[in-house]
Chain A
Amino acid sequence: MKTSVIVFPGSNCDRDMAVALRNATGHEPTMVWHKDSALPDDLDLVAVPGGFSFGDYLRCGAIAARSPIMRAVVDHARRGGLTLGVCNGWQVLIEAGLLPGALMRNADLKFVCQDVHLRVEEVQNPFSRGYQAGQIIRVPVAHHDGNFYGDEDLLDRLEAENRVAFRYVDANGDATARSNPNGSARNIAGVLSENRRVLGMMPHPERLADSALGGVDGSVLFEALAA
């Protein structure tokens, strides 16, 4: 499997993402600088990593989404190419118009950096098919603007189309206000595109993809992509 990781000024999870992809696929991902205008040929997956691209100026992900490489990323996604955006990467994919809704300042205004429990809501897609439906996993989050917003019509549509990939829950699997680290609508932690080939998520699976990091709940996602 051929993968690429996009690197913006201010990306800081790009190398973690590359390690997770390399371990799962057995091949070194190509790191692609934001000023490049083309992706490698025959690419299977593009990952847009976490970080603070362009210092979060204007809105998180707004400037990155207009950088030259993003035209190629949008083309790749529109052709059905696998596209994963984690944390700032999800913000970038939303700003680029590949995923719906918006990610706003956390409801309590604080930067949140902790492990959260997620319920895997949806396994009929290339990203989370390695998990059991309803499985509870534990993955770190670290963000200031992860408060997923959509109007009621959008939220209902995402649920009806089974496009909510992950939801913030407590250790028992209940989606409560306390288990919601950022105020996201309906505890939504990750969203799939209509064709289920693009996933945006706030939690960081690449930070829990090696037992040396304290767990491997995240590596299931990368192994499913590579399988």
Chain B
Amino acid sequence: MKARVHVTLKNGVLDPQGEAIRQALSTLGFEGVENVRQGKLLELDLAEGDPASAKERVEAMCEKLLANTVIENYSVEIS
């Protein structure tokens, strides 16, 4: 089974890369983009067969390594 993990910056944490992307979009003529927040997508292939325990394990991975919970949120989708 597969897990998709989205890691994003928490609200209130400045995102200078997102701001640079927003400015580049504006330079290209894409007006009206008020804010950009960039993050990471991680795709994991798991040997696990049970969705509930897969989700639990991936969340533990997020807490221990995949996200820095001081500044980042994460969400886990299992499919």
Contacts and interface: CB of A to CB of B under 8 A. Distances in A.
A95 B66 CA distance: 11
Contacts of B16: 104-109, 147, 183
B26 interface: no
A106 B14 CA distance: 11
A177 to B, nearest CB: 14
Size category of the B interface is 10 to 19
Contacts, number: 34
B60 interface: no
B17 A102 contact: no
A102 B16 CA distance: 15
Given A107-B14, A183-B16, A62 B70 contact: no
Contacts of B66: 58
A95 B68 contact: yes
Interface string B51-69: 0000000000000111010
Interface residues of A, number: 18
B47 interface: no
A173 interface: no
Contacts of A105: 16-17
Contacts of B17: 105, 109
Contact of B13 (A59, A62, A149): A149
B65 A62 contact: yes
25 contacts: A58-B65, A58-B66, A59-B68, A62-B65, A62-B68, A66-B64, A66-B65, A102-B70, A102-B71, A104-B13, A105-B16, A105-B17, A106-B16, A107-B14, A107-B16, A108-B16, A109-B16, A109-B17, A109-B20, A147-B16, A149-B13, A149-B14, A151-B12, A183-B14, A183-B16
Interface of B: 12-14, 16-17, 20, 64-66, 68, 70-71
